[in-house]
Structure 1
Amino acid sequence: MGKSIYEGRYTTENDQDLVVFIIGMRINKRLAIRQWLPVFTAMPGMIRELYENKEELGFLSMENFFGLRTTVMISYWRSQEDLLAYSKGQKHLSAWKNFNRKIGDTDAVGIYHETYVLPKGHYEAIYGNMPVYGLAKAVNHKPVTGETISAKKRLNSVQTKTSP
């Protein structure tokens, strides 16, 4: 069954600090399956752990994308401290040690991550005729109003509310 489509334009609250963490892998040598498959198969266990322990871990939501050679996971976190604590947790640490033991410095697979710390009021989103998606799964999803009609207004909404 498909996700419910919210007709019209929607946005999100931007009144809390957030962390966006992007992680992925690239298959550099398609036929070297033994070298890249362990990297690919390590993620489902960690994703399950995140969703089963969201509140405790500070994990908010995520989206996955799969291309011919590259995968990417965009995740949203409550804080930088929560993300860093998870990186030192058992599931992630085991996967990282296993990766280094099995793959090491092979060029058959590449991995990457990017971390963005976003202070409240310094991010915005717009969704037109979409299911709840991306950032909207992590924070409050709400209809666009006159106060949030443009990107500039959405970015300034927190500063306006907190200004004297």
Structure 2
Amino acid sequence: MIRRERLTASLEGDFVVFLIGMRINNPLKIHKWLPVAAAMPRMLKELYHQPELGFIHAEMWFSRTIIQVQYWRSMEQLLAYARNKEAQHLPAWQSFNKAIGTDGTVGIWHETYAASPGTYESIYVNMPLFGLGRAGSVQVASGGRQSAAGRLNAHQNPS
């Protein structure tokens, strides 16, 4: 559902934004990149079914470079999932290194950011619930929340 009002999002407390993706460098080598692409849905299914792991929400975009934005409750929980031998991630990572390694056919990347109140802001207009707005909660961006500076300040001085 499209929300026509100006909204801003918040997520209580500290959280982590994790950007992860892959780039198909050689589209003809489907046997190389398809297993990499297929690993993420398995991980997401596992994460959505086990909220105690700290995963909150994800959004994904598909093109030659596939990008996913994930929201996590804490850095510790994200890192624990990455190292968990019983979870989907570690075997997928090991499989990537064995099948592809540095042969150049498929690129993978990630970036990790810690966020806390007062260090992030958002605005959504004519959008369905999306990203941080879906991971957390949304409020009408009114009064002092009309500008990016005002939204940042609202986190530091909630009214």
TM-score interval (norm. to shorter)? over 0.9
1:36 aligns with 2:36: no
Give 1:53's aligned residue: 50
% identical equivalent positions:
48
Structure-2 separation of matches of 1:37 and 1:14: 34
Give 2:94's aligned residue: 97
Structural RMSD (CA): 1.4
Gaps of 5+ in 2: none
| Superposition pairs of residues 1-150 of structure 1, within 5 angstroms | 4-13=1-10, 15-54=12-51, 56-67=52-63, 69-89=64-84, 90-150=87-147
Structure 1 residues 8 and 161: CA distance shift in structure 2, 3 A: closer
Kept after mapping to 1: 8 A contact 2:117/2:156: no
TM-score calculated relative to the size of structure 2: 0.93
Q: How many residues align?
A: 157
TM-score calculated relative to the size of structure 1: 0.90
Q: How far did residue 84 of structure 1 move?
A: 0.6
